[in-house]
Amino acid sequence: MGSCVSSTEAATTNNPGASAFGSASLEAPRFSRARAAFRRLRRNRLATAGLFVLLAAVFVAIFAPVIAPFNPRAISVMNALNGPNSTNLMGTDNLGRDLFSRVLYGIRMSIMIAVISIGVASLIGVVLGLISGFFGGRTDEIIMRGMDILYAFPDLLLALALIATFGTGLTGLIVAIAIGRVPGFARITRATVLSVRENEYVEAARTIGMRDSRIILRHILPNGIAPIIVMMSISLALAILVEASLSFLGLGIQPPTPSLGGLLKEALGFMETAPWMAIFPGLTIALIIFSLNLLGDGLRDVLDPNLK
Amino acid sequence: MIAYLIRRLLHSIVVVAGVATIAFALLHFIPGDPVDAILGVESTPAAREALRHDLGLDRPLLTQYVAWWGEVLRGDLGESVMTGQSVSQLIRQRLPTTIPLAVLSMSIALAIAVPAGILSAIKRNTWVDGLVSMIAFAGLSLPGFWLGALLILGFSVHWRIFPPGGYVSVFQDPIDGLRHLVLPAIALGTTFAAVLTRMIRSSLLEVLGKDYIRTARAKGQVERRILIRHALRNALIPAVTIIGVQAGFLLSGALVIEQIFSLPGIGRLTVQAVFDRDFPLLQGCIIVIALIFVVANLITDLIYVYLDPRISYQ
């Protein structure tokens, strides 16, 4: 599980959204915009609450093995279907496993998958959007028609189709979730590039003979980062939802590894006798998605009022 | 206008053709031998040969692709690997379940969102607005399948008002059929209701700030009349646009909701096809779902252009 921790951390630090917050404490002048944005975000109480819940979730995701009171896979038939009590905070499941520990590990799984898949999706989407917007013409036409085609798949359907082909498994799951989110990033990046491209400073950079790649990275991308960050936070919510849906259908994370969607699937057979099995994992998913939506909304107000 | 229609239609055709091509390609992207993946490695050589022939895998790729298009354009989506039944027939049997479900959940969503959105906008920045916005936000965050499970827990297990699942055709027994659809439709429509409420609120607020509303107020119009005659009509136009996009979310949600409530709709058929790795069936479901989605978006765009004469057709 050690590798999971490091990959989660790596993906988190690669995430421009995270670095915008991380950089808020830095004193260097080039981060002043991020700092100002962070200060405005703090004034939005709901968004700040969302941010705190998410930080707590990320903390849990990283330290689940330390926090969890029990081994999430340890079966104890004697203790099956116990309601919430002081030993088992969220009760136990039909095999006597501690639900609280399983939920903690479920959060870890959900967050890891969401962060990696959105990291991949944003990288691919932003690169395609930059190319499409900057070069225009036939390249633009081909890339954007491809994105339109991907967009015509309802989220979950595309993921299902990819899983049917590549099979269930962590990599397949991440790819399945990531591909569906690429068009969103490509479209929003392209739109920003188009609006920034005609500015005089881009013209000036071109006149002094700057290379295209340098113009894109130095002058265009930094101006388009705000909508991309907002998109990330909304996409993370969707990614968590799609992962939970897939695991709920039995096509995502496979048992005995706990995942939030998988826990709900297991709960369905015990709705009358053990409703807590369904209530806690569902509440956890809802809370994480709720917080991401609050944060996304707050970020949109702070970073890009025009988007609203 | 005509030029716009033609261009929009061509664009839709390109998108559906692209989706169909991806659907065709899925079978060929399977790592290893697709026949192994479908039948398992322990199948008999004769069965494998038969399936290979049925799927057309013994022919060159280009021939397969051209032949496949010929069949799709004639409405022939092939036969299910598992049951041998015609895919188009299987889908036709399932649509009468999914379509009433989608229509009912859209109706429920509209019935909640229109009054809630209006209320939120006219009571802007009061506790009423805050409460409606909070509920809308929560609705946006509830996973439909969890809400479905909670609804079963409350209304079927505890109070026994609605059946926990199962299916009765609304076309044969409208009342019992609807009773079976109410809970799934609520579970499916909640997100839509939330999105729509927020949309109507912000669009109505924008319209209420316009000059012509001030003019109406200045000449002494009654507030209610201003709201209904002047503001609402214009405010609801943008809301129309998201109905098309939401059709995709509804179809996506139906994949899961039909599973929980054991409804034999196209969503459940698709999930079954994935479990069985029944590729002809999966391809058929993908094409039909994408087609519904694209057509819904096309119709929405056209309605939008019709409703708002300011939109240019460029």
B29 vs A166: CB contact, 8 Å cut-off? Answer: yes
Confidence grade of residue A7 (pLDDT, cut at 50, 70, 90): very low
- What mean pLDDT comes out for the span B184-190? 94
B115 touching A (Cβ < 8 Å)? no
- Whether the predicted pLDDT of A19 surpasses 60: no
Minimal Cα distance from A240: which residue of B? B143
| A153/B15 CB distance under 8 A | no
- Give A77's DSSP letter: G
Residue A73 and residue A260: Cα distance in Å, rounded?
14
From residue A243, alpha-carbon distances to A161, A174, B101, B225, B306 in Å are 14, 9, 24, 47, 39
Check if the beta carbon of residue A77 is closer than 8 Å to that of residue A96.
yes
Cα R_g (chain A), whole angstroms: 21
- The model's confidence at residue B220, banded by pLDDT at 50, 70 and 90, is confident
Residue of A nearest to B199 (CA): A308
Say if residue B24's pLDDT is above 70: yes
Q: What residues of A are in contact with residue B249 (Cβ under 8 Å)?
A: 154-155
More confident residue, A69 or A18: A69
Mutate to test the interface with A, among B255, B277, B279 (most CBs of A within 10 A): B255
- Say what the pLDDT of residue B160 is: 87
B15: closest chain A residue by CA = A149
CB-CB neighbors (< 8 A) of B137 in chain A: 290, 293-294, 297
A153, A160, A264 member nearest B271 (Cβ): A160
Q: Compare CB distances from B259 to A157, A166, A249 and report the shortest one's residue.
A: A249
Tell whether B124 lies on the interface with A, counting CB pairs under 8 A.
no
Task: Inform me whether the pLDDT recorded for B314 exceeds 60.
Answer: no
Note the pLDDT tens digit of each residue in B59-109. 888 888 898 899 889 888 888 988 889 999 999 999 999 999 999 999 999
Residues B252-264: what's their mean pLDDT? Answer: 90
Asked if the model's pLDDT at residue B267 lies above 70, the reply is yes
Kindly tell me if the per-residue pLDDT of A17 is higher than 60: no
- pLDDT for residue A304: 62
Question: In three state form, how does the secondary structure of chain B look?
Answer: CHHHHHHHHHHHHHHHHHHHHHHHHHHHHCCCCHHHHHHCCCCCHHHHHHHHHHCCCCCCHHHHHHHHHHHHHCCCCCECCCCCCEHHHHHHHHHHHHHHHHHHHHHHHHHHHHHHHHHHHHCCCCHHHHHHHHHHHHHHHCCHHHHHHHHHHHHHHHCCCCCCCCCCCCCCCHHHHHHHHHHHHHHHHHHHHHHHHHHHHHHHHHHHCCHHHHHHHHCCCCHHHHHHHHHHHHHHHHHHHHHHHHHHHHHHHHHHHHHHCCCCCHHHHHHHHHHHCCHHHHHHHHHHHHHHHHHHHHHHHHHHHHHCCCCCCC
Residues 6+ apart with CB under 8 A from A34: A20, A21, A23, A24
CB A79 within 8 A of CB A96: yes
- A250 vs A160: CA distance, rounded Å: 11
Is the CB of A278 less than 8 angstroms away from the CB of B294?
A: no
pLDDT at B20 over 80: yes
- Right CATH number for A53-78+87-192+221-307 from 3.40.640.10, 3.40.50.80, 3.40.190.10, 1.10.3720.10? 1.10.3720.10
CB contact under 8 A, B249 and A241: no
For the stretch A181-228, pLDDT in tens is 999 999 999 988 888 888 888 888 888 988 888 888 888 888 778 889
Average the pLDDT over A99-108 and give the result. 94
The answer on pLDDT for A11 being more than 50 is no
Q: Is the pLDDT of residue A108 over 90?
A: yes
Interface contact flag, B157 A272, Cβ < 8 Å = yes
- CB contacts < 8 A (A, B): 132
Residue B236 CB neighbour total at 10 angstroms: 18
pLDDT at A3: 38
Average confidence score pLDDT of chain A: 84
Task: Using CA coordinates, name the residue in chain B closest to A287.
Answer: B141
- The answer to whether residues A263 and A103 touch, using CB atoms and an 8 Å cutoff, is yes
Q: Does residue B165 have a pLDDT over 50?
A: yes
A286 to chain B: which residues are within 8 Å by CB?
138, 141-143, 146
Q: Quick check: A145 and B266 in contact, CB under 8 A?
A: no
More confident residue, B250 or A123: A123
Query: What tens digit of pLDDT does each residue of A114-159 get?
Result: 999 999 999 999 999 999 998 889 999 999 999 999 988 888 899 9
The domain defined by B87-307 folds into: MetI-like fold (1.10.3720)
Taking residues A65-70, report their average pLDDT: 89
Q: Which residues of A touch B (CB under 8 A)?
A: 145-146, 148-149, 152-157, 160-167, 237, 241, 244-245, 248-251, 264, 267-268, 271-272, 275, 278-279, 282, 285-287, 289-290, 293-294, 297, 308
Distance from CA of B257 to the nearest CA of A (A): 10
pLDDT band at A176; cut points 50, 70, 90: very high
pLDDT for position A16:
41
Confidence label for B237 from pLDDT (cuts 50, 70 and 90) = confident
Residue A25 DSSP label? G
The string of pLDDT tens digits covering residues B123-156 is 888 999 999 988 998 898 899 899 998 999 899 8
Contacts of residue A135, defined as CB under 8 A and 6 or more positions apart, other chains included, come to: none
User: Tokens 């004697």 label which residue?
Assistant: A78
CB contact under 8 A, B149 and A278: yes
Percent of chain A with pLDDT over 90: 42
Q: Which of B106, B305, B87 is nearest to B186 (CA)?
A: B106
Measured between beta carbons, which residues in chain A are less than 8 angstroms from residue B130? Answer: none
Distance CA B63, CA B69 (A): 10
Which pLDDT score, from 0 to 100, does residue B245 have?
Answer: 76
Contact A182/A150 with Cβ under 8 angstroms? yes
Tell me how crowded residue B202 is: count the other CB atoms within 10 A of its CB: 16
Considering only residues A15 and B105, tell me which one the structure prediction assigns the higher pLDDT: B105
Average pLDDT over residues B197-221: 88
The pLDDT of residue B311? 63
Whether chain A has a CB inside 8 Å of the CB on B306: the answer is: no
Sign of CA dihedral A155, A161, A165, A170: positive
pLDDT of res. A57: 94
Match 């979310």 to its residue by tokens: B249
Minimum distance, in Å, between the CA of residue A196 and any CA atom of chain B:
22
Cα dist. A132→A125, A137, A222, B116, B195 in Å?
10, 8, 17, 40, 30
Cα A231 to Cα B155: distance, rounded to the nearest angstrom? 37
Query: B157, A271: Cβ pair inside 8 Å?
Result: yes
Q: What is the pLDDT of residue A30?
A: 54
Tell me which residue in A267, A282, A308 faces B143 most closely, judged by beta carbons. A282
CB-CB neighbors (< 8 A) of B195 in chain A:
none
> Residue B1's pLDDT is what?
72
Mean pLDDT of A98-121: 95
Contact A249 B152 (CB under 8 A): no
A-contacting residues of B 143-172, CB under 8 Å?
143, 145-146, 149-150, 152-153, 157
